[in-house]
């Protein structure tokens, strides 16, 4: 395949797989800030098989209208590369901190899935048992029995729960309010099922919100404490935590911004760093670093976190469902015959990704301070990074 066509196919595939969310992207009319226009730092060792020039170019020019910062780690047996670019915050224009914490969004689901599978290995959970057995009364009589496995691979048919608004402006106005996981699940349970369990696949946060409640029920301890015991500590993820109702990001972090349309038709960048994300819970409330997410990926794929029989769930798609791409906690992505297992995540101001081949010959972790992290299209900076890393 010619290089130009190969790039176009990869770009189209990545957009389809990694596009972050349901909200439309606002137009950008404001000029980009003038500050650092080259990567703050890059390093490689060794990187003979990596497209180092393309990776470096992917970070050039930040901050721009699409992102204010980017942190990247490429690893595996093919070589390693580290890069960071952009600014810590727009007012100071100080260089972005390459070791910064950020909102990791739905990459949280990898941790949740790993914790559930660890509990399955300990015989505290049976993947074939309906969630109604563990959490009686959680779902109404209109729901057929839904197994734990069907929650893990998004084939439950449970509809999405309600949030604190449908537009950025609405949810931003409620950014310091608390919406509990129990309230989210109750709003979903009040609706009709989308489909019969196990017949279709629809990726929704509600599945992992319920799995978080399951972890708490069978252990008698909080989701945060149990995932720390089962996943974070064994993986060596010392800079990762769950903030709960605290709207702040503790420790070093780069500020996040969202492009928002003003009444006069122009666009401004709104600081969205402080935000109570309690409703995301086990589906997307994690704060982490690129180094910690890389530790999660490598520890998981090497079988250090989840025993082999249960680990296979993370690399197995549900059978007999056309178009299914999600397994337990991960998503399957194929490019030119090479299979990658990945998980993306996005909260306002922050987009993240972990991806790797099963044999860890190539891994990619990034955090991009996207100015439209919940838009329908993949962030252009994130797309450049992914295309360069997967060459």
Q: What pLDDT sits at residue 21?
A: 42
Non-local CB neighbours of 91 within 8 Å, separated by 6+ positions: none
Non-local CB neighbours of 26 within 8 Å, separated by 6+ positions: 168, 259, 260, 261, 267, 372
pLDDT average, residue stretch 361-369:
97
Confidence of residue 48 (pLDDT cuts 50, 70, 90): low
Tokens of 337: 């015959």
Each residue of 201-219: b (16+ CB within 10 Å) or e? bbebbbbbbbbbbbbbebb
Average confidence score pLDDT of the chain: 91
pLDDT average, residue stretch 174-198:
98
Confidence of residue 12 (pLDDT cuts 50, 70, 90): low
Confidence of residue 390 (pLDDT cuts 50, 70, 90): confident
Q: Which residue has the tokens 């993370």?
A: 314
- Between CA 369 and CA 387 the distance in angstroms is 18
- Between CA 55 and CA 81 the distance in angstroms is 8
Q: What pLDDT sits at residue 391?
A: 76
Smallest CA-to-CA distance from 188 within 207, 160, 210 is with: 160
356 C-beta neighbours (distance < 10 Å), count: 22
Q: Give percent of the chain above pLDDT 70.
A: 88
CB 113 within 8 A of CB 329: yes
pLDDT average, residue stretch 271-290:
98
- Between CA 80 and CA 173 the distance in angstroms is 42
Domain containing 64: what range? 3-389
Q: Which residue has the tokens 């998004």?
A: 154
CB 366 within 8 A of CB 343: no
CB 217 within 8 A of CB 232: no
Q: What pLDDT sits at residue 29?
A: 29
- Between CA 181 and CA 98 the distance in angstroms is 32
Q: What pLDDT sits at residue 7?
A: 47
pLDDT digits (tens, 9 = 90+) for 301-344: 999 999 999 999 999 999 999 999 999 999 999 987 899 999 99
Rounded to two decimals, the pTM is 0.92
- Between CA 327 and CA 169 the distance in angstroms is 33
- Between CA 165 and CA 33 the distance in angstroms is 30
Which CATH number covers residue 20? Answer: 3.40.710.10
Q: What pLDDT sits at residue 41?
A: 76
| pLDDT at residue 36 is higher than 60 | no
CB 379 within 8 A of CB 25: no
**Distances, alpha carbon 320 to alpha carbons 119, 158, 256, 325, in Å:** 27, 19, 41, 12
Tokens of 334: 């194929």
Non-local CB neighbours of 146 within 8 Å, separated by 6+ positions: 130, 131, 132, 139, 156, 157, 158, 197
Helix 3-18 to helix 380-389 angle (10° resolution) is 120
Tokens of 81: 């590369």
Q: What pLDDT sits at residue 78?
A: 84
Per the structure, how many domains does the chain have?
1
Q: What pLDDT sits at residue 43?
A: 76
CA angle (239, 242, 247) in 5-degree steps: 105
181 C-beta neighbours (distance < 10 Å), count: 24
Q: What pLDDT sits at residue 82?
A: 97
H-assigned helices in the chain = 3-18, 52-58, 108-121, 131-134, 148-152, 168-173, 181-189, 205-219, 223-227, 233-235, 281-284, 290-301, 308-311, 380-389
CB 350 within 8 A of CB 105: yes
């Amino acid at each position: 395949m010619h290089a130009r066509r190969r790039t176009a196919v990869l770009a189209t595939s990545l957009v389809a797989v990694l596009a972050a969310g349901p909200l439309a992207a606002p137009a950008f009319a404001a000029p980009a800030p003038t500050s650092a226009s080259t990567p703050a730092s890059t390093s490689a060792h060794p990187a003979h098989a990596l497209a180092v020039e393309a990776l470096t170019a992917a970070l050039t020019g930040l901050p721009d209208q699409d992102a204010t910062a980017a942190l990247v780690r490429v690893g595996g047996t093919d070589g390693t590369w580290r890069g960071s670019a952009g600014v810590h915050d727009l007012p100071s224009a100080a260089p972005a901190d390459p070791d910064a914490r950020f909102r990791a969004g739905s990459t949280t689901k990898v941790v949740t899935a790993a914790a559930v599978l660890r509990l399955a290995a300990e015989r505290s959970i049976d993947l074939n048992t309906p969630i109604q057995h563990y959490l009686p009364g959680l779902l109404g009589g209109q729901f057929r029995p839904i197994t734990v496995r069907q929650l893990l691979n998004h084939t439950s048919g449970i509809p999405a729960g309600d949030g604190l608004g449908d537009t950025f402006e609405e949810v931003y106005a409620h950014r310091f309010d608390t919406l509990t996981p129990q309230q989210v699940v109750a709003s979903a349970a009040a609706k009709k099922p989308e489909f019969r369990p196990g017949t279709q696949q629809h990726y929704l946060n509600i599945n992992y919100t319920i799995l978080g409640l399951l972890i708490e029920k069978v252990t008698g301890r909080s989701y945060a404490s149990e995932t720390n015991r089962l996943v974070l500590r064994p993986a060596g993820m010392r800079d990762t935590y769950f903030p709960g109702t605290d709207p702040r990001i503790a420790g070093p972090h780069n500020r996040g911004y969202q492009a928002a349309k003003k009444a006069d038709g122009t666009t401004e960048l709104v600081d969205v760093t402080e935000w109570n994300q309690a409703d995301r819970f086990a589906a997307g409330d994690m704060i982490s670093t690129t180094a910690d997410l890389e530790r999660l990926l490598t520890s998981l794929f090497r079988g250090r976190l989840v025993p082999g029989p249960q680990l296979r769930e993370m690399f197995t798609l549900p059978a007999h469902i056309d178009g299914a791409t999600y397994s337990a906690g991960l998503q399957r992505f194929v490019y030119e015959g090479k299979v990658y297992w990945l998980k993306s995540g996005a909260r306002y101001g922050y987009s993240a990704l972990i991806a790797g081949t099963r044999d860890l010959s190539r891994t990619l972790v990034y955090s991009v301070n996207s100015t439209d992290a919940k838009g329908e299209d993949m962030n252009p900076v994130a797309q450049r990074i992914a295309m360069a890393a997967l060459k």
